[in-house]
A and B are shown apart, each in its own frame.
Chain A
């Protein structure tokens, strides 16, 4: 079968481009630690009975000297915590988010960052990040979740580590 010379060059260049893309993503994944949510060790939870889970008390918990965990519930049509009173977190600290929903799918987007995830009833969305500097971020639900979907938003306030008020923590 005959393949034109230019076409061979083109196919070679295309394969090179594809390899480069795969390389870049793997580099981000391993070296830059740009992770995405995945399957966690936890089994699924019963979305109709969050009271029996740690999500009964959403809020911030301290899990290490420089590491906090946020248990967050996304429900029609608010983030808890986040909507109403902003979620306040310390800068330059490891923050692990654990998010679930008791009703329908929701989205979780921290505006202007790559913190972006789907929240699915029965599953726990987990990701870890560090906010380097004090700043305020918008928090948006970007997965259609019902008639008032466009009202579902919140705020994250990142404050200097020294100003973070530990009395807001939820005791485990």
Chain B
């Protein structure tokens, strides 16, 4: 009996969500390859430099928003059904939220791809941050709004399951996977309210021409109120995997369930009130609020550092169960030859590097050296592009057999894939970081200028360009390997091989060792809301005081 036999209805929705996620990954990844070649002037034959920005918008939206969101919908649906031992309460409602997110995604994608078609009236080269007064076609904004609202309804579906389960188990502790889902979704509700307000109240009326002018700073601030927390919406599902599944894949058990809960509370409280740290270089926001963001941002390192401890010690425990010993030699006893484990572990290692470059980004005035340079994509390809994306791909090797009831195919290719990703990302990301230090801007089709040149602290520009191009190519090959494995394993064909061992052993230290207050959803939500109010009321008031659409700039079509 595996997942599909127990929860056939839930399985269908999960597979439908994964299908969209991997479709977005395929297209977005191809765009990434184009960018890596085009930017470095290795090959500019695919697109013109003007189309670069359509491609870049597609890459950002399809990977950072669509791939992640749909994968997370599937993963959490799995976690909720499994932990509460229930199918969704009402499949019509479940398919309704799925349909809404899908329609939103399609509208947004059409708007972006329209820009690649000559003379089309539809385009949206506004990048995934869509800063007005650059204006996209209304389809882009309406689609984005539907995507977000659809994900809200998905969360409502899981809260519904929670209510039903709670009624039947009034005294029980919330199972850890469901707990993580609930806390991640609470954070998501609080933060995505910002982008929903931005899009629905400001951008849609303006893109429809109902109002003519827009204040450029206010929507930007609402965007980053959401935009920082969204990185935790990408990351927490990876933590979900690292805390609850990775220990088992390493051969052991989770170290401590209570500390995992505390970590998720930290994220709920601290991820939303710190959005200004994306606006350190902005005028119009007082330095005091930037300071607050700086301190809160650095404090939020704590739960990530705690996660590093728990994940590594759980892996160590697993390795020792498998016969490993010594201070460091135990690492050799880990199942590096299993793709699901190898992918998650490599993603974790890369995340540590990304954490360090993130500490630099967070540090207000040091950030000025690398703000908006190639350092930034260097950084987040380690975090969302590897910690999340590689974990999602790797755990699919473990989830898919539970969803099909059949074993994974092309196992060797599946094993090579995370290592390829790791090598490709090491090349691309280290070179992007170093280019950023030399001042090479991000989001620029041709960062080679006449009149002046960059002066890299070490190495040469040519060498870094080649690393970006070669790294990007290896990444794309890794992506093709993933798609081949998943494609082959998905399709129906008989295998009698036993599917997979999908049991998860209980943690070494279980929830019964922690105070019940950790499960008090209402209390923690209230604290989170208060922190947001403290952080955002005054600056937003200052921006709105002179009028919602003032000082107004006219729309600028791309």
Interface residues of A (CB under 8 A from B): 1-4, 6-7, 10-11, 14-15, 17-18, 21-22, 24-25, 28-29, 34-40, 43-48, 76, 102-105, 107, 109, 111-112, 114-126, 136-138, 140-151, 153, 155
> Contact at A147–B286, with CB atoms within 8 Å?
no
> What A residues does B365 contact at CB under 8 A?
25, 28-29, 34-36, 114
- Asked if A144 contacts B127 (CB within 8 A), the reply is yes
Known: A3-B256, A4-B313, A146-B134. 13 other contacts (CB 8 A): A2-B509, A14-B301, A36-B280, A36-B281, A37-B282, A46-B552, A47-B216, A109-B439, A120-B216, A144-B53, A149-B444, A150-B49, A153-B449
B441 touches A109 (CB 8 A): yes
B118-145 CB mask vs A (1 if < 8 Å, else 0) is 0000000101000101100000000000
Instruction: Give 17 pairs: A residue, B residue, CB < 8 Å, sorted on A.
Output: A4-B256, A36-B365, A38-B286, A38-B287, A45-B551, A47-B551, A102-B553, A104-B133, A105-B134, A111-B439, A117-B281, A118-B279, A122-B553, A138-B453, A147-B558, A149-B53, A149-B444
Q: Is B284 an interface residue (CB 8 A)?
A: yes
Q: Do A11 and B302 have beta carbons less than 8 Å apart?
A: yes
- Per-position contact with A for B420-448: 1 when CB-CB < 8 Å, else 0? 00000000000000000011011111110
CA distance A8 to B551 in the complex (A): 51
Name the contact of A44 in the complex, choosing from B53, B284, B513 (C-beta under 8 A).
Answer: B284
Contact (Cβ within 8 A) A150 B439: no
**Is there a chain A Cβ closer than 8 Å to B298's Cβ?**
yes
Q: Mark B290-315, 1 if CB is under 8 A from A, else 0.
A: 10001100110110011001100100
**Which segment of B2-10, B203-211, B366-374 sits at the interface?**
B366-374
> Residues of B with Cβ closer than 8 Å to A?
49-50, 52-53, 125, 127, 131, 133-134, 213, 215-217, 220, 255-256, 258-259, 279-287, 290, 294-295, 298-299, 301-302, 305-306, 309-310, 313, 359, 362-366, 368-369, 371-373, 438-439, 441-447, 449, 451-455, 509, 513-515, 542, 546, 550-554, 556, 558
Contact yes or no, A142 B444, CB < 8 A: yes
Q: Is the CB of A105 within 8 A of B439?
A: no
Chain B interface SS verdict (over half) = loop
By a CB distance below 8 angstroms, the chain B residues around A38 are: 283, 285-287, 290
CB neighbours of A103 from chain B (8 A): 133, 553-554, 556
The interface residues of chain B lying within 8 Å CB-to-CB of A143 are 131, 372, 443
Closest to B282 in A: A118
- Cα–Cα, bound, A168→B383 (Å): 48
Residues of the A chain whose Cβ atoms lie less than 8 Å from the Cβ of B285: 38-39
Known A-B contacts A36-B287, A104-B133; the reply to A147 vs B302 at CB < 8 A is no
- Least distance between B137 CB and chain A CB atoms (Å): 16
CA distance A51 to B293 in the complex (A): 36
Q: Which of A35, A111, A116, A122 makes the CB contact (< 8 A) with B215?
A: A122
Given the interface contacts A103-B556, A122-B553, does A155 sit within 8 Å of B452 by beta carbon? Answer: yes
